[in-house]
Amino acid sequence: MNRKRALISDAFKVKKIRNETQKFGAVSEGDGPTDIRSTLETLMKLFPRKLFNDTLPQIVVKHQLYSIHNDKTLVDKELNKLREQGELLMFQLGFDADAFGLVFASDYKAKVLAGEDGRTTRATVEKFLEKLPSPCTELSFSKDKMLRELHFTDSEITQLVKSGVLTVRDAGSWWLSIPNSGKFTKYFIQGRKAVLGMVKKSKYSEVLKTELEERRTTSLVKFHMKYHIHDIVGAEMVESISTTSGTLLRFVDS
């Protein structure tokens, strides 16, 4: 078995480069700050709006950018700039402490308001969006901030939770959240598991990225395959290796 694997590695002339994939139509690392925004826009194009009847803003998970830009510090720095400029909002997605959703502020507000048409909570949600700090660099709000700084009543906070723009963090605080994103989280996790399973079940638990992209998927994979590949590479669930035959993805035992 070891001899066979060695032969395959020789055939591929593997040069290990951890966490580096081919640039999926995005810019290369180090070309400047605007590249992070360009990468965000590229990844957002993979988001399946129609799957959610165009009710959700386009969501990118922060670590997906790490699959394209190796310098995590640069990515985080440029994302913070976009947040400080009021262009970008970040959300704790809930299924993992390190999973943060990125959404353009204008897209978020437009989808939230569209979802409030005809609802009794609309006036309170409009008030919240107007009072939402710009830039908003916070992930959550304390009760003290909601009551004293933003001037919301307990009843209005209850309406904001009902509408989905806030979710309970603990007894005295709330996460800023994306309404109706539960289905996104469900599909994201089940798709991740399915795609990881494809890699793990491949010979030697490795597969060429191009081959994985072309694989027929089950009903469990509802997002674009590239969307999931950026996830598992950026989250370091697979190792990305440059070879003469293209990028090889290898399952990483946790």
Q: What is the pLDDT of residue 100?
A: 97
Average pLDDT over residues 9-20: 43
- Whether 205 contacts 194, CB under 8 Å: no
- Is 175 strand, coil or helix? strand
pLDDT greater than 70 at residue 25? no
Compute the distance between CA of residue 208 and CA of residue 242 in angstroms, rounded to an integer: 10
pLDDT greater than 90 at residue 185? yes
* 3-state helix/strand/coil string of 53-66: CCCCCCCEEHHHHH
pLDDT greater than 70 at residue 171? yes
Half-sphere exposure of 116 (CA within 13 A, CB side): 24
- Whether 26 contacts 64, CB under 8 Å: no
Q: Is 55 exposed, middle or buried (0-12, 13-18, 19+ CB in 10 A)?
A: middle
Average pLDDT of the chain to the nearest whole number: 89
How confident is residue 14, by pLDDT bands cut at 50, 70 and 90?
Answer: very low
Say what percent of the chain tops pLDDT 90.
82
Residue 166's H or E segment, with its range, is: strand 166-170
Q: What is the pLDDT of residue 34?
A: 53
DSSP 8-state symbol, 130 = H
* 3-state helix/strand/coil string of 180-218: CCHHHHHHHHHHHHHHHHHHHHCHHHEEEHHHHHHCCCC
Give the tens place of pLDDT for each residue, 44-77.
999 999 999 999 999 999 999 999 999 999 999 9
pLDDT greater than 50 at residue 217? yes
